[in-house]
């Protein structure tokens, strides 16, 4: 969950249209990637078939060159050239996705091991990245590297965390009872890949039917049994939760039947809705970034919402209790609330509204 939350938070520090992170091995080979916004699988497949460590080298360093790149920022100036804008890579891969210019952070551990690449994109007509914005990103890279190092959080801890719906809309799939996909909402493919474990060259080339069978095979089998069984049953429709590095994914199903009285018998179709959920702490930080409060007030607000006392907050922050009291007073004034109950209610409403 760290990378999706990081890419979202970066918009408040360095404005961009969309952000991307590539996980690599130490030799610069791409393992997985996460990109904000819609995914055009055809463009993705075209990139990996023709450009990745291939034709892209005609206009920019090949991806594999990351293995020799030092930690730091690759400037937007490197690609802001007429020959790049005239290249096949730009016109066949970048432009269809709304990309025009970028800055890239090469992320390495304290020992120099390559961890990945962080890319911030802006679209046509948007301002160029400035040297100040490049320095801002550069200052963040050591902290990003530290956060990417393995931690002690167990899978059980991740599963037991309280989750709330993420900012993406619920996606819908329409299948026949053999599991064949008929129709899908625009973002369904992206959520399926994230639920399965991430976006990668392999995931982009894997048939969508294989992914559906792997994730929803049992649900489809249960739907077939339901369709063949007696009508009028009050049993709940099959549902499931899937956990991956990108959060919890809740899937719910329902059989859709042809209207009664229609001539001819049509088999039912299976509707599956899929929604991504994220830990509530991540969602709270997103809400706080949208409020008119300072970083210090936001930290105090998050702690109050989590149930900490003002004395505990002062000890955690290493400041005097009077400093926390002052933050709380200014926080209540900025948000026009009279106390903690109203503050909790405001955040709860924003958490719900942020998903709509």
Model pLDDT for residues 259-290, shown as the tens digit of each residue = 876 655 788 899 999 999 988 888 898 899 88
Phi, psi of 298 (to 5 degrees): -65, -40
pLDDT at residue 355 in the model: 38
**pLDDT (tens digit per residue) in 325-335:** 999 999 999 99
* DSSP label of 47: I
Q: Do 163-279 and 2-148 have the same topology in CATH?
A: yes
Predicted local distance difference test score (pLDDT) of residue 152: 45
pLDDT in tens, 35-69: 998 888 899 999 999 999 999 999 999 999 999 99
Residue 356 has pLDDT above 50, yes or no: no
Residue 104: beta bridge partners? 74, 119
Architecture (CATH level 2) of domain 163-279: 2-Layer Sandwich (3.30)
How far, in whole angstroms, is CA 186 from its chain's centroid?
Answer: 16
Distance from C-alpha of 107 to C-alpha of 22, rounded to nearest angstrom: 10
pTM higher than 0.85, yes or no? no
Q: Which fold has domain 291-353?
A: Arc Repressor Mutant, subunit A (1.10.10)
Q: E-strand spans in 185-303?
A: 239-244, 247-256, 269-279
Flag the least confident range among 15-19, 21-25, 124-128, 146-150.
146-150
CATH class, 2-148 region: alpha beta
Straight-line distance from the first to the last Cα atom of the chain, in angstroms, rounded to the nearest whole number: 20
User: Please, are residues 196 and 189 in contact by the beta-carbon 8 Å criterion?
Assistant: no
Q: What is the largest CA-CA distance in the chain?
A: 77
Q: Indicate if the pLDDT at residue 73 is higher than 50.
A: yes
The pLDDT score that the predictor gives to residue 160 is 58
- Domain edges within the chain: 2-148, 163-279, 291-353
Tell me the pLDDT tens digit for each residue of 106-141: 999 988 999 999 999 999 999 999 999 999 999 999
Tell me the average pLDDT across 291-309.
91
CB crowding 74-107: b at 16 or more within 10 Å, else e: bebeebeeeebbebebbeebbeebebbbbbbbbb
């Amino acid at each position: 969950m760290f990378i999706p939350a990081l890419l979202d938070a970066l918009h408040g520090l360095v404005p961009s249209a969309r952000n991307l992170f590539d996980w690599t091995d130490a030799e610069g080979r791409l393992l997985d990637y996460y990109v904000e916004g819609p995914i055009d699988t055809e463009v993705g497949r075209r990139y990996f078939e023709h450009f990745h460590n291939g034709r892209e080298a005609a206009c920019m360093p090949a991806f594999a060159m990351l293995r020799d790149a030092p930690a730091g920022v690759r400037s937007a100036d490197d690609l802001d050239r007429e020959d790049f804008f005239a290249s096949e890579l730009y016109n066949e891969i970048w432009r269809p996705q709304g990309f025009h210019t970028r800055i890239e952070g090469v992320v390495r551990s304290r020992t120099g091991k390559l961890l990945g690449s962080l890319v911030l994109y802006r679209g046509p007509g948007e301002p160029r990245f400035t040297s100040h914005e490049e320095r801002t990103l550069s200052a963040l890279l050591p902290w990003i590297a530290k956060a990417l190092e393995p931690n002690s959080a167990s899978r059980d801890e991740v599963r037991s965390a309280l989750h709330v719906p993420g900012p993406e809309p619920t996606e819908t799939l329409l299948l026949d009872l053999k599991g064949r996909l008929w129709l899908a909402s625009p973002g369904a493919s992206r959520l399926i890949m994230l639920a399965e474990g991430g976006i990668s060259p392999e995931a982009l080339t894997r048939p969508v039917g294989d992914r559906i069978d792997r994730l929803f095979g049992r649900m489809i089998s249960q739907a077939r049994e339901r369709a063949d069984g007696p009508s009028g049953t009050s049993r709940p429709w099959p549902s499931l939760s899937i956990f991956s590095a990108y959060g919890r994914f809740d899937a719910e199903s329902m059989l859709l039947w042809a209207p009664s009285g229609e001539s001819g018998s049509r088999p039912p179709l299976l509707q599956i809705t899929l929604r991504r959920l994220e830990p509530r702490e991540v969602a709270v930080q997103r809400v706080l970034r949208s409020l008119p409060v300072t970083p210090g007030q936001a930290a105090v607000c998050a702690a109050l919402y989590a149930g900490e006392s003002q004395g505990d907050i002062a000890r955690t922050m290493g400041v005097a209790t009077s400093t926390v009291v002052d933050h709380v007073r200014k926080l209540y004034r900025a948000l026009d609330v009279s106390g903690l109950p109203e503050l909790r209610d405001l955040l709860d409403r924003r958490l719900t509204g942020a998903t709509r």
